[in-house]
Amino acid sequence: MPGIWYTATQITLTSDLSQFLPTSSGSTASAEEATTGFLLKELSQGSTSTLLMLAIESINSPTDSIYLARLSKQLQKKLSSSNLFGFISNGSTRLSAKDKALIKKYRYLLSSKTAPQNFTSKNLTAALNTRLNELRSPLAGLVKKNIAFDPGSEILHILKTWQPQSSPDKEHGVWFSQDKRHALMVLEINTSGYDINIQEQAINTIQQVFDKYNTRQTARLLISGPGVFAVKARDQIRSETQLMSAVASLLIMLILFIAYRSPWLVLLGGIPLFSAVLAGAVVTYLIFDGIHGITLAFGMTLLGVCIDYPVHVFSHLNKSQTSLQSTQSIWPTLRLGVITTCMGYLALTLTVFTGLAQLGVFAIAGLVAAMLVTRYVLPGLITHTDLKLKTDFHVALQAYVARLVPIRKMLLVFLVLAITAWFSLFSISWENRLSALAPIPQQQKQLDNILRKELAVPELDFMAVISAKDIETVLQKSEQTEAALQPLIKDNILQGVRAPHQILPSKRTQKTRQAALPDTVTLTRALSISTRTLPFKAGVFTPFIKDIATSKHLELLDNNTLQGSLLATQLRPLLFQADNQWWGVMRFIGVNDSRALAQWFNQYADNNVQYLSITQSSANMIQRFRNETLQRLLWGALIVVAVLIAGLRNMRRVVQVLLATALALALDLVVLTALGERLNLFHLVSLLLVVGIGLDYGLFFSRPDPDSATRLRTLHGMVVCVGSTVAVFGILGMSEIPVLRAIGLTVAIGVAFCFIFAMLLSQNKPLHVS
Amino acid sequence: MMLKTDTWIHRKALVNVLLCFIVPVLFVAHVHAASTQSDFNKVMQSMSQVKKSFANFTETKSFALLNEKLVFSGQLFYTAPDQVTKVVIKPQSERFEIRSDTLYVELADGSKYKLLLSNYPLLEIFAEAYRGILSGNIKVLKKFYDLEFTGDYNNWVLTLTPVEEEAQEYVESVVMYGKAAQLEKILTLENGGDKSLMQIIRPARGKK
């Protein structure tokens, strides 16, 4: 079924879901929810979702680390020249001349060591003694050039604080894992949006370049990261759904052929569905000026009921009527079915969630189109009405059900009691985690965890977000928050943070440091005291004194000054401007107790600082989405009842239809929960389809047919409908992929029950076999 | 033709005389060169046969920015093929170990860190100089230095001048003095007049 195929291939869950959210202009959305929604969108498109981690290992032991290191360097060099990637780190990257110049010029403003006590003669003596030790050591050559202007070794201190707390060890010039068996690398993919295609292109490029250099063929490349998961998930879904779509389409055609023995009719059967999808897409596009991927996917699932319409028409063809006449005879029932379903979906269109609203419009437009096509176009295309339908099975079925009629009241009471009992014992478990929809194989997840720890890449899931009108406030709050987090770091709740102020200190901090620098007279005096007992020649530290004096009056470092340097690249994901505000992102490294961290932020009294857990926020949003949907559906149900009563003008029939559908729904849920399914959004949408079909079946079964022959034809049509639906969705239900299994199981089981109950409840009197 | 015969005899005599002088000289020179060459090889070969050694050292460093020399002493350990450890005892306890491609540093205050030699050319050339001579590896030395060997097997001087321009910025030359397979002195001349002299003293009973 094309719907399923499309669903599966186009889903990029995180970003798509965030576009389902109300924007800040929605009246029912609180400010916090709007912030969360906006942030999720920004951050899921931000840099950490575009990080890839690589490990290169030797295929056979022993590990040829020199070869691996060479591959790592070649890979880094070649990939750096490609536009696909932002930064690429494998431990061999060095600072550019511009970076070095910046650090040297602003070192006293950047260094966290800058404080008044550092410039007392006592501390100066200590620092100089350390320098003397360095001069004695083999490192003398590296150090002696800087002593004259940087006796406190600020530059080295700054560089050390920028290193992640635990950076991988190096062998042969590049990062290696702790067990020395893997060469490691981190890359950032250059994409401003969460575009799976670019991610895939990047991953393929890396593999190609690697294969080119791996001439000895003794090494293997392992890649991990969000992009890898997304691409793998999409490929898996794509390949499986292609297979299933093919099988399902063949199956439908086969069933139609077996039922009607006419290839022409089989072809005609697809027309209403096709026009439904077309109409739905066009109307939604016109109204909303665009159509959302998930809407298209869900929508096409809902339009699955459109296969049934031509089936009803075909089954009612007989030699005593023209195709138009026989169609006209079932037209009222068909029409009522479509209208009731559309009324139900109408409720969806009135939500704040654009996604739901689009879905409602799509479904309504599609169903109406299918209905009209079936009524007005299809009969004209039918060439002959004399179908010799085999009805032996149907007659037997009728007879069997007739036998159940006397006990059906008891059966119903029993079922109602059973269902009530079930739901009082077991409640529906809702699946709130986005991750459950696209599961990552265990092996892949393990690799990801290991690489993340080795490379000290910050956690993807949680972060603290700081928002304010200007940069300075954001940076100040960043500093305050890190300072406040120190006790937790000491307690090993987390290892550290990566925050914007670490690269660009707030102006306030810079000013404080400037003030802490001594004036020339004081410094000279302190220096002369401290150098009295040390063997430094007179005048050696003149450059130092000069630099301190310059630093005291230096124009403060700001975002613009950093442009073009490596620092700016590192700062960008942590500090950015969007939506008229400045945002700072603080990421956490090595979190050992995420709950304690979350709790701490809960109590942290600062309105501008918000702790965000992407999984938690997504879960909250899914829950909101679901509650809203359920609410709407309840309204929809009421409207359906009203329309049914108006349309049927027969309370008995209304009860039959509603009861059948309700029972089927309830039992569907019972079976799903019994199977251990945790219900997600796809189950919910599939239930909508079940309701649509249930109403349809109920109406057809309960209609007063003029004679038993017509009744048999109705039954014939119903059997084809239920057979094809259950077959197709049953195949889907056997899939390993959660999305497909959810839709498949729900619809197959639900529709089967709809059929059973609709048939059981509507049989009014035992029929004689004719 | 009497004159012709005379000239011919003269020429022959001249040639003879020349041959008598030049050939021996050449021969001696060649032998001398060969023996210098072979002395160098012999030294290196003897060095390469020592798989483990240990000695005491005293080092004196003078810097342009200091008005005093820095003196310190300790012990040197070598294990073939690429491990050299310098343990400083006076004035404070420190340890510098070169193993494969990394320098491991342990300071008096207990702090430890490591540096990758390939990231620091200055460290690398020193490391290779020490390792090269102690392991008797001519190839390694030649990779980083131009070599000049004077003296003979029992008393030699090896002068190393860096090949790379980048290294020449730091180091002018490294001069090693030794007797047979024993390194006695290393004099490092750095850019700007800075110098370092390391005296190596074998313990009384030469440990192998």
The token pair at B70 is 């820095």
Phi, psi of A254 (to 5 degrees): -65, -45
Q: How far apart are CA A703 and CA A680, in angstroms?
A: 35
Omega before A164 cis (within 30°)?
no
The answer to whether A318 and A400 are in contact (CB under 8 A) is: no
CB contact under 8 A, A537 and B119: no
The token pair at B59 is 């080092």
The answer to whether A426 and A563 are in contact (CB under 8 A) is: no
Spatial CB neighbours of A642, under 8 Å, sequence gap ≥ 6: A343
User: Which chain A residues touch B108 with a CB distance below 8 Å?
Assistant: 133
Nearest to B66 among A94, A139, A536 (CB): A536
The answer to whether A380 and A328 are in contact (CB under 8 A) is: no
Q: How far apart are CA A600 and CA A595, in angstroms?
A: 8
DSSP A108-163: HHH-TT--GGGGSHHHHHHHHHHHHHHHHSTTHHHHHHHHTT-TT-HHHHHHHHHS
Q: How far apart are CA A38 and CA A45, in angstroms?
A: 11
Spatial CB neighbours of B80, under 8 Å, sequence gap ≥ 6: B48, B50, B51, B52, B134, B135
pLDDT tens figures, B148-173:
988 888 899 999 999 887 778 788 89
Q: Where are the alpha helices (H) located in B84-169, listed in sequence order?
A: 121-134, 138-144, 165-168
Collapsing DSSP to helix, strand or coil, A458 comes out as: coil
**Count of alpha carbons within 13 angstroms of residue A676, beta-carbon side:** 1
Q: How far apart are CA A725 and CA A741, in angstroms?
A: 15
Backbone Cα Rg of chain A = 35
User: Number of A:B CB contacts under 8 A?
Assistant: 67
Omega before A62 cis (within 30°)?
yes
Nearest to A136 among B64, B70, B114 (CB): B70
Name the burial class of residue B165, with classes exposed (0-12), middle (13-18) and buried (19+) by CB atoms within 10 angstroms of its CB.
exposed
Looking at CA atoms only, how far is residue B34 from chain A in angstroms? 36
CB contact under 8 A, A144 and B63: yes
Long-range contacts of A649-658 (CB under 8 A, 24+ apart): A653/A702, A653/A703, A653/A762, A656/A698, A656/A701, A656/A702, A656/A758, A656/A761, A656/A762, A657/A695, A657/A698, A657/A699, A657/A702, A657/A758, A658/A698
DSSP A3-41: HHHHHHHH--HHHHHHHTSPPTT-TTS-HHHHHHHHHHH
Nearest to A141 among B96, B114, B190 (CB): B190
User: Which chain B residues touch A135 with a CB distance below 8 Å?
Assistant: 61, 63, 66, 70
CB contact under 8 A, B96 and A135: no
Phi, psi of A464 (to 5 degrees): -110, 135
Please, which pLDDT band fits residue B87 given cuts at 50, 70 and 90? very high
Nearest to A132 among B70, B102, B196 (CB): B70
CB contact under 8 A, A136 and B61: yes
CB contact under 8 A, B190 and A136: no
The answer to whether B104 and B96 are in contact (CB under 8 A) is: yes
Spatial CB neighbours of A390, under 8 Å, sequence gap ≥ 6: none
The token pair at A523 is 């410094």
Q: Report the amino acid identity of residue B30.
A: H
Q: What is the DSSP secondary structure assignment for residue B114, as one 8-state letter?
A: E
Looking at CA atoms only, how far is residue B198 from chain A in angstroms? 12
CB contact under 8 A, B61 and A140: yes
CB contact under 8 A, B116 and A173: yes
Mean pLDDT across chain B: 83
The residue behind tokens 């002696």 is: A144
Backbone CA torsion sign across A400, A401, A404, A406: negative
Q: What is the DSSP secondary structure assignment for residue A377, as one 8-state letter?
A: I
Question: Alpha carbon of B64 to those of A40, A543, A635, B70: distances in Å?
Answer: 59, 15, 89, 12
Closest-CA residue of A relative to B104 is A138
Q: How far apart are CA A501 and CA A477, in angstroms?
A: 9
Nearest to B96 among A135, A138, A535 (CB): A138
User: Which chain B residues touch A137 with a CB distance below 8 Å?
Assistant: 88, 94, 96, 105
Mean pLDDT for each consecutive 10-residue tract of chain A (770 residues)? 46 45 42 56 55 86 84 86 76 72 90 87 90 86 87 85 65 80 83 70 90 88 84 75 77 85 83 87 84 69 80 82 82 86 79 75 90 87 75 79 80 86 82 69 82 75 85 93 90 86 91 92 91 88 92 89 77 79 85 85 83 76 79 82 84 85 90 86 82 86 80 85 87 80 90 89 57
HEC secondary structure over A593-606: CHHHHHHHHHHCCC
pLDDT at residue A133, rounded to an integer: 86
CB contact under 8 A, A536 and B120: no
Closest CA to A26 of A661, A628, A617, A619: A628
Nearest to B70 among A135, A169, A537 (CB): A135
Q: Could you report the predicted ipTM of this complex, rounded to two decimals? A: 0.79
pLDDT at residue A32, rounded to an integer: 52
Cβ count near A760 (within 10 Å): 18
DSSP A216-262: T--EEEEEESHHHHHHHHHHHHHHHHHHHHHHHHHHHHHHHHHHH--
Beta strands in A590-700 (DSSP E): 609-613
The token pair at A286 is 């016109």
Cβ count near A634 (within 10 Å): 10
pLDDT at residue A441, rounded to an integer: 76
What's the distance, CA A556 to chain centroid?
Answer: 41
B72 interfacial to chain A (CB closer than 8 Å): yes
Collapsing DSSP to helix, strand or coil, A44 comes out as: helix
Q: How far apart are CA A119 and CA A117, in angstroms?
A: 5
Query: pTM of the entire structure?
Result: 0.64
CB contact under 8 A, A136 and B88: yes
What's the distance, CA B204 to chain centroid?
Answer: 23
Q: What is the DSSP secondary structure assignment for residue A430, as one 8-state letter?
A: B
B55 interfacial to chain A (CB closer than 8 Å): no
What size, in residues, is chain A? 770
Closest CA to A463 of A576, A582, A588: A588
Choose from B60, B66, B102, B171 for mutation: most chain A CBs within 10 A.
B66
Omega before B91 cis (within 30°)?
yes
CB contact under 8 A, A540 and B171: no
Looking at CA atoms only, how far is residue B80 from chain A in angstroms? 19
Burial pattern A438-473, b for ≥16 Cβ within 10 A else e, equals bebeeebeebbebbbebbbbbbbbbbbbbbbeebeb
The token pair at A604 is 């942290």
